[in-house]
């Protein structure tokens, strides 16, 4: 149990340190954890994203807490939550101390302009992986997937409705998708 807690602490500390760009930037790290440790499946990851997006609080922290709780109960959730937020606290304290110096350095602007495309690439790769695993059954041999027609239809309908009625609150779509997921057992 101690080894698991230390591994989770390390992995989520690393995620908190390098997941620049918000909650979606944690998805590639979580993907890697799923593959390396088998702590959860890709399907579980998409469920975690849905739950994290629909609950209050930062998405990355919600997912870390969820993983920690599923693996080691309350202690696991505390370890993963503290591990993912600690790097941000350290960096914020350092930046707050030297804010004027950081603000005026062009190298800081250059670093962030270089990080933006990398973060976008990681997010797009993770979203594409989730997109494919949600809409297609990729577990078949030789990469031969079958269409999940209900998920594809649900995606198409929600995209059309969101495009046509732009002033509908996103909570409506979350609730509608949850209800349809229960009805069709997605």
pLDDT band at 132 (very low <50, low <70, confident <90, very high): confident
Asked if residue 113 and residue 62 are part of one domain, the reply reads yes
Query: How far is the C-alpha of 40 from the C-alpha of 140, rounded, in Å?
Result: 19
Total domains present in the chain: 2
Asked if residue 138 and residue 50 are part of one domain, the reply reads yes
Which pLDDT score is estimated for 138? Answer: 60
Asked if residue 65 and residue 100 are part of one domain, the reply reads yes
What residues make up the domain containing 186?
148-186
Query: How far is the C-alpha of 182 from the C-alpha of 143, rounded, in Å?
Result: 28
Q: Is the pLDDT of residue 48 over 70?
A: yes
Asked if residue 143 and residue 164 are part of one domain, the reply reads no
What is the overall mean pLDDT for the chain? 83
Which of 11-15, 43-47, 59-63 ranks highest by mean pLDDT?
11-15
Asked if residue 9 and residue 30 are part of one domain, the reply reads yes
Q: 8: which 2 tokens?
A: 């989770």
Which pLDDT score is estimated for 71? Answer: 93
Which pLDDT score is estimated for 87? Answer: 93
Residue, of 108 and 18, whose pLDDT is higher: 18
Q: Is the dihedral of CA 104, 107, 110, 115 positive or negative?
A: negative
Asked if residue 87 and residue 15 are part of one domain, the reply reads yes
Asked if residue 113 and residue 183 are part of one domain, the reply reads no
Asked if residue 173 and residue 101 are part of one domain, the reply reads no
Asked if residue 160 and residue 118 are part of one domain, the reply reads no
pLDDT digits (tens, 9 = 90+) for 15-46: 999 887 777 788 888 888 988 999 988 788 88
Question: Cα Rg for the chain, rounded, in angstroms?
Answer: 19
pLDDT digits (tens, 9 = 90+) for 139-157: 555 555 577 777 788 888 8
């Amino acid at each position: 149990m101690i080894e698991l807690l230390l591994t989770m602490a390390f992995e989520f500390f690393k995620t908190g340190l390098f997941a620049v760009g918000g909650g979606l930037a944690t998805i590639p790290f979580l993907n890697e954890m799923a593959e390396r440790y088998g702590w959860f499946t890709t399907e579980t990851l998409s469920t975690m994203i849905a739950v994290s997006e629909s609950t209050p609080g930062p998405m990355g922290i919600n997912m870390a807490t969820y993983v920690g709780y599923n693996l080691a109960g309350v202690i696991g959730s505390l370890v993963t939550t503290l591990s993912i937020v600690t790097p941000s606290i350290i960096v914020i304290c350092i930046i707050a101390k030297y804010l004027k110096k950081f603000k005026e350095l062009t190298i800081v602007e250059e670093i962030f302009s270089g990080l933006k495309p990398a973060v976008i690439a990681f997010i797009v790769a993770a979203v594409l992986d989730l997109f494919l695993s949600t809409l297609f059954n990729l577990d078949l041999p030789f990469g031969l997937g079958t269409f999940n027609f209900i998920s594809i239809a649900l995606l198409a309908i929600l995209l059309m409705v969101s495009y046509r009625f732009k002033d509908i609150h996103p909570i409506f779509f979350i609730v509608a998708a949850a209800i349809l997921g229960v009805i069709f057992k997605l």
